[in-house]
Amino acid sequence: MEDFEGKKEIINLFNSILGSKVSIKDNMDKTEESIFVHFVNELDKAQTAEHKLFENSKIEINHYTDPLWNVIENILKLLYGEEQAELIQWYIYDRFNADGSIVPIEDESGKKYIFTNPEDLWSYMNYRYSKK
């Protein structure tokens, strides 16, 4: 990790507080991935629970939840951009066929990708939309 202003002071402060040697590691990419995976998993669980509630009891809560989903969709656009937000939304809402099979994503060259978990989605997004 590159040194930054105040790094030594921060290390010394933590060393004195904790009484042991502390190091600062640059793992932002891994942290961002784990937050993304958790976020997508939670959104997926919420959408599934909402769908099951309707399927099992015919209780519609979408007039309460739709404004929240709209806010989430707009936050996704701010964080990841329009195309990636649409891909995340597809993953949450539309990645399964009616028979439960996974719908593949097809790129411009005809190559198909199957996402079985948010980690697959994260990897694809980093491959497809990496800042070169």
Q: Which domain holds residue 120?
A: 27-128
Q: Which residues are bridge partners to 113 per DSSP?
A: 105
Is residue 125's pLDDT more than 60? yes
Listed in sequence order, the residues at least 6 apart from 42 whose beta carbon sits closer than 8 Å to its beta carbon are none
Listed in sequence order, the residues at least 6 apart from 26 whose beta carbon sits closer than 8 Å to its beta carbon are 1, 2
Strand boundaries in 63-110, DSSP class E = 105-106
Region of 95 (left: φ > 0; alpha: ψ -120 to 50; beta: rest) is alpha
Distance CA 62, CA 14 (A): 48
pTM of structure: 0.75
**Distance, C-alpha 32 to centroid of its chain:** 9
Give the mean pLDDT of 86-90: 97
pLDDT value of position 85:
97
State how many domains the chain has.
1
- Please indicate, yes or no, if residue 78 is contained in any of the structural domains: yes
- Please indicate, yes or no, if residue 10 is contained in any of the structural domains: no
- Please indicate, yes or no, if residue 6 is contained in any of the structural domains: no
- Supply 60's token pair: 């519609």
- Please indicate, yes or no, if residue 20 is contained in any of the structural domains: no
- Please indicate, yes or no, if residue 1 is contained in any of the structural domains: no
- Please indicate, yes or no, if residue 121 is contained in any of the structural domains: yes
Give the mean pLDDT of 79-94: 96
Q: What is the pLDDT of residues 20-68, one digit of tens each?
A: 787 776 655 678 899 999 999 999 999 999 999 999 999 999 999 999 9
